[in-house]
Amino acid sequence: MSAKTIMIQGTASHVGKSVLVAALCRIFKQDGYRVAPFKSQNMALNSFVTRDGGEMGRAQVVQAEAAGLEPSVDMNPILLKPTGHASSQVVVLGKPVGNLSAMGYHTDYAPKALAIIEGALNRLLAANDMVVIEGAGSPAEVNLQEHEIVNMRIARMAQAPVLLVADIDKGGALASVVGTLELIAPDDRARVRGIIINKFRGDISLFQPAVKFLEEKTGKPVIGVVPYFQGFRVQEEDTIPEDRSRAELVEEQGWVDIAVVNLPHISNFTDFDPLEDEPDVRLRYVSKGSNLDEPDLIILPGSKNTIGDLAFLNRSGLAAQIVEFYRRGTPVIGICGGFQMLGRELNDPLHTESEIPRLDGLGLLDTSTTFAPEKITTQVEAEVAGSGLFLCETSDNRINGYEIHMGRTELAPDVRPAFTILVRSGEKVFFPDGAVSPDGLVFGTYIHGIFDSDSFRRRLINTLRRRKGLEPLQASDTLLVHEQRERDFDKLAAVVRSSLAMEKIYGLLGMEGPICHG
């Protein structure tokens, strides 16, 4: 074992483990080390496709970007994608191996996965100076401890000291720390070498008595108190962003309103982060019981259970609302599963995704989708092929993205595709993707990440602006996705570095500290 290791575990889910791992990856990179993230098992519907076609959790992709590395499935060897009640698709080293119930996975498959996890971890250890490991949920889930493969068992495998994170913004942070340490085995308790309090608001001096209490009660040092940071974004693992009022929208410039339908099995909602970060966009996630209001654009996102989520749209009345808005002239875009829902029909004869064998689609595109067991996971380069409201062909009409889908969609003879895929997994191809309606108001695509393209995204937003009688904004006044993400990683690193006792963390790693500054 060549690389040093450290592990971030939490007192519960959503305490900020993923973001703190990303912060440490950027800090160690800035300090001159080659560092990689690792999470043995991730349960998430936000996923990504690597250059070689492997599927992995989006959180580890973000952490890899923070570390300055290309994502690898070794960073997340086991990915669980929930498909319904107490069942998930199991993705191992980037490839799906089938759907398993929660009981079947924990008792039968998880123990067999340890060798796969250890192999992936060892490859990262051999290629890096250090590996920052993320746990999942809480190590104190006594009902899961016997079969878990993501918390203390991995800490022991990696010989990693553990930092325990609690979210004080939710309340009960002190009790959760004390209770977690009480419920884990003595040997694992000894492996916890420090405590991090996350998402703190207010005057830090008023929290010092709590720090003293925790250290005296647990015998563990509080390594730092991280503030609730605002003003920059690091992509979340699996939490829909709260609807923001966007007070910073510039009224004199005006803004456009985009409604994303929040499906029960929504996947890859990070597709829409670049839209939300634009200065003239109000992006909302609309759920059952929510009002679509009067959006300038409706987006149907990806789904891990497309037919099930389409049935939800029908039951909730959202399907009828979407069709009615289209008839009144509101444009609609579908990504992956959302694209499939826009068609005439969806067929699942082998019950690949659902127990429902067939369901009528929204009928906004003349297409038919049939699900199949084989999963397509590939990075792509494409160009605009369709026409209409958003798909005008220009000198700069290339996009990069990735596909993750199990359906095959057939277009009626007179339907034009939205894009043409020119490169798939590094090989030149010429393959149609998606579809666009004859009136140009509706288009769908299998390609995730199309809004990461700065020029395509800005043209789309400016088209919406013109429809509202607003002047278009110049690209120089708006977001550049890659540059913004790099700035946000640096801002995150600065906040976390100033909040944690980094000299103590280096001490836990057995290292003297930075080898360079920058």
pLDDT at position 291: 76
Going by the DSSP 8-state scheme, the letter that residue 451 receives in this structure is G
pLDDT at 183: 95
Residue 247 has a pLDDT of 43
The token duo for 518 is 């920058």
Determine the distance from the C-alpha atom of residue 487 to the mean position of all C-alpha atoms in its chain, rounded to a whole number: 19
| Residues 6+ away with beta carbon under 8 Å from 135 | 7, 8, 9, 10, 17, 39, 150, 151, 154, 155, 162
pLDDT tens string 454-467 = 999 999 999 999 99
pLDDT tens figures, 316-345: 999 999 999 999 999 999 999 999 999 999
How many angstroms separate the CA atoms of 267 and 44, rounded?
8
Residue 161 has what pLDDT?
98
| Distance from C-alpha of 4 to C-alpha of 8, rounded to nearest angstrom | 14
Written as six digits, the tokens of 486 are 């790099």
Ranges for all domains in the chain classified under CATH 3.40.50.300: 4-233+484-509
CA angle 61, 62, 65 (to 5 degrees): 90
State the pLDDT confidence band at 292, using cuts at 50, 70 and 90: confident
437/516: higher pLDDT: 437
CATH architecture of the domain with range 4-233+484-509: 3-Layer(aba) Sandwich (3.40)
Around Cβ 214, how many Cβ atoms within 10 Å?
21
Distance CA 47, CA 263 (A): 16
Residue 350: what pLDDT? 87
pLDDT (tens digit per residue) in 400-439: 999 999 889 999 999 999 999 999 988 999 999 999 999 9
Highest mean pLDDT among 153-162, 202-211, 283-292, 385-394: 153-162
CA–CA gap between residue 347 and residue 356 (Å, rounded): 8
Where, residue-wise, is CATH 3.40.50.880 in the chain? Answer: 256-472
Nearest to 455 by CA among 477, 475, 440, 471: 475
pLDDT tens digits, one per residue of 346-360: 999 988 877 889 999
The mean per-residue pLDDT over the stretch 283-296 comes to 86
Q: Collapse the DSSP code of 145 into the 3-class scheme (helix H, G, I; strand E, B; otherwise coil) and give the result.
A: coil
The residues annotated as belonging to the active site are 336, 448
Which pLDDT tens digit goes with each residue over 19-29? 999 999 999 99
**Full DSSP string of 63-81:** HHHHHT----GGGSSEEEE
Tens digit of pLDDT for each residue in 62-115? Answer: 999 999 999 999 999 999 988 766 678 889 999 988 877 767 676 777 778 899
What is the widest separation between alpha-carbon atoms in the chain? 73
Cα–Cα dist 479/496, whole Å: 24
Lowest mean pLDDT among 127-141, 229-243, 482-496: 229-243
pLDDT in tens, 20-55: 999 999 999 999 999 999 999 998 888 999 999 999
Residue 246: the pLDDT is 47
Identify the bridge partners of residue 266 per DSSP, sorted by sequence position.
Answer: 303
Taking all residues of the chain, what is their mean pLDDT, rounded to a whole number? 90
- To the question of domain 256-472 being in CATH 2.60.40.10, the answer is no
Q: Each residue of 209-259: pLDDT tens digit?
A: 999 999 999 999 999 999 998 777 776 665 665 544 444 555 556 899 999
Helix, strand, coil share (%) of the chain residues, nearest 5? 35, 30, 35
Backbone angles phi, psi at 485, to 5 degrees: -65, -40
State the alpha helices, DSSP H only, in 38-129: 58-67, 102-104, 110-127
Rounded to whole angstroms, the Cα distance separating 266 from 257 reads 20
Token pair of 334 as six digits: 């579908």
Q: At what angle do helices 318-327 and 306-316 cross, to 10 degrees?
A: 80
Task: Decide: 359 and 310 in contact? Cβ < 8 Å.
Answer: yes
Q: Which amino acid is at 490?
A: D
Residue pair 340/409 in contact by the 8 Å Cβ criterion: yes
DSSP state of 242: P
Contact predicate 229/297, CB 8 Å: no
